[in-house]
Structure 1
Amino acid sequence: AFCKRLIDNQRWRGVPFYLVTGKKLSEKSAQVTIQFKKPEDCNSGGKENPIYKLSPNSNANILEIKIQPREGIHLRLNTKKPTVDDQTVVAEMEYCQSCQYSFNTPDAYEKLILDVIKGDSTRFTRWDELALSWYFIDSIDKESVTFASYKDESQGPKEADLLLNRDGRKWWFREKLR
């Protein structure tokens, strides 16, 4: 399943959220990818004397939170080159938690059971969050929604790509950042 959702509040107004999920896909993964607005040349010094000019390969800054299979964070930024020509370059930073702590780490359920024993509810969903989740699902259930099908071991339905292409965007999980 895939969808585009907008949140009608001051902070997120006009920001599209694209969600995709599926079973029996070619790759099992869970991640959150945040694409920031693409930066523009900084002309506050005037058009003749820009403070910096983006290089042709500059893209939007990306923050990728990897949940499964390799827990970690990947950040791709446009940064000013430390030279006198005021060009930008793409810099990438990555932290892989599961790469550093792969041995002797507890499974997800072990952590949850330990939290229950300790009375720590921080990993559990609050009632108001659960109610809002059902509100979201119920709104989909009330609409007459047709779900696109796809072949096993594929990257999901082609209609998901069409949705983003229509908005001039792309699925980042289809393009490996690193």
Structure 2
Amino acid sequence: FVALRLYIDDWRWADVPIYMRVGKRLPKSATEISIHFKKAPAVLFNKNLSDQNVLVIRIQPDEGISLRIHAKVPGTSFRVELVKMDFHYGTSFGKASPEAYERLLLDAMSGDATLFARRDEVEEAWAFIDVIESAWSAKKDAPGLFPYPAGSWGPDEADDLLARDGRAWRRL
């Protein structure tokens, strides 16, 4: 299990935390990107809205995109409600996309390398991991190992990572 807070060294993404968690034997197998938009500095309507607007890109299973936003209810009132727009690939096209390995094997047999990692991508991924492995080997600034029970969402320390920033993991 790994839980990380990362930053992109780029002016456009300055001070934007990116949180990632991945592990084995979690209660659900899902790959998604969840973008939580900043709350507005001034709220015009319902001041008690606590949820953020969220864009979720579901990679697998159940590929699709959903957008959860606060929207003003039509009419003369100033009431705002949380609404969800949801696109499911399988429902929209009448069939689900192939499973991950099925697609990969079909592409390999047809000579399509689109989904395969290039050498430079693999080298960059290992460069990222090598920094962590070197710190562990040198035993300086090495993060601790935190066991967690199978079927859980990981160790409590993963929740603490986000709680320190006033955030929480999105429920899957």
- TM-score using structure 1 length: 0.80
Equivalences for 1:10-159 in 2 at 5 Å? 10-41=11-42, 52-100=44-92, 103=95, 105-143=97-135, 144-159=142-157
Contact residue 90 and residue 96 of structure 2 kept, 8 A = no
Shift of 1:117: 4.0
- For residue 108 of structure 2, give the secondary structure of its aligned residue in structure 1: helix
Contact residue 70 and residue 99 of structure 1 kept, 8 A = no
Shift of 1:23: 0.9
Q: Number of aligned residue pairs: give it.
A: 165
Could you tell me how far apart the structure 1 residues matched to 2:42 and 2:22 are? Answer: 36
| Identity level (%) | 38
| Uncovered stretches (5+) of structure 2, i.e. residues with no partner | 136-141
Alignment-mate amino acid for residue 155 of structure 2:
P
* Alignment match, 1:167: 165
- TM-score using structure 2 length: 0.82
Shift of 1:102: 6.8
Shift of 1:69: 2.9
Shift of 1:122: 2.1
Contact residue 31 and residue 65 of structure 1 kept, 8 A = yes
Shift of 1:78: 1.7
| Uncovered stretches (5+) of structure 1, i.e. residues with no partner | 43-51
Q: Structure 1 pair 55/94, CA: closer, same or farther in 2 (3 Å)?
A: farther
